[in-house]
Amino acid sequence: MQDCVFCKIVKKEIPAEVVYENDDILVFKDIKPAAPVHLLLIPKKHIPTFFDLKEEDAGLLGELHLAAARVAREMGLEKGFRLTGNCNQDAGQLVFHLHYHLLAGRTLHWPPG
Ligand code: AMP
Ligand code: ZN
């Protein structure tokens, strides 16, 4: 998608600190970290929100979750992490390319604001 910042990161048109990549997904550092570890996990395919997911995308979601566990293990985050997906305005979604936030490295309060 032409004007999507995450698609531009996928196409390497703008830089990002990539921590994991395969054919289908990308994991990179959030530019404005809200915790000592703040990663974004995205499918390379442009899917605007969770509401736009199709049955055929189920495998992609599995890959994102597996990548979260893999990266967290590699980064020594056994004490824990949070995987969060914001959907539409009430959740504060700013970038309309589906993504999960992986937050870690401090105590994360619940419920979030
Ligand atoms: P959300 O509110 O769930 O849509 O979150 C979007 C996230 O993308 C925010 O945490 C931003 O800091 C992050 N973000 C936006 N642009 C970039 C970028 N160019 N590189 C890395 N993270 C970004
Ligand atoms: Zn996109």
In a domain, 110, yes or no: no
In a domain, 95, yes or no: yes
> Which residue among 13, 29, 37, 94 is best mutated to probe the pocket of ligand 1, counting the most ligand atoms within 8 A of its Cβ?
94
pTM for the predicted model, two decimal places: 0.98
Nearest to 86 by CA among 40, 46, 26: 40
Please write the tens of the pLDDT for every residue from 48-94. Answer: 999 999 999 999 999 999 999 999 999 999 999 999 999 999 999 99
In a domain, 19, yes or no: yes
Number of domains forming the structure of the chain: 1
Q: What is the CATH number of the domain that holds 22?
A: 3.30.428.10
Nearest to 53 by CA among 19, 62, 27: 62
- pLDDT value at position 2? 86
- pLDDT value at position 42? 99
In a domain, 112, yes or no: no
In a domain, 47, yes or no: yes
Please write the tens of the pLDDT for every residue from 10-58. Answer: 999 999 999 999 999 999 999 999 999 999 999 999 999 999 999 999 9
Distance CA 41, CA 29 (A): 9
86 lines ligand 1 (CB under 6 A): yes
Ligand 1 centre from 31 Cα, in Å?
Answer: 6
Question: Which domain does 97 fall in, by range?
Answer: 5-104
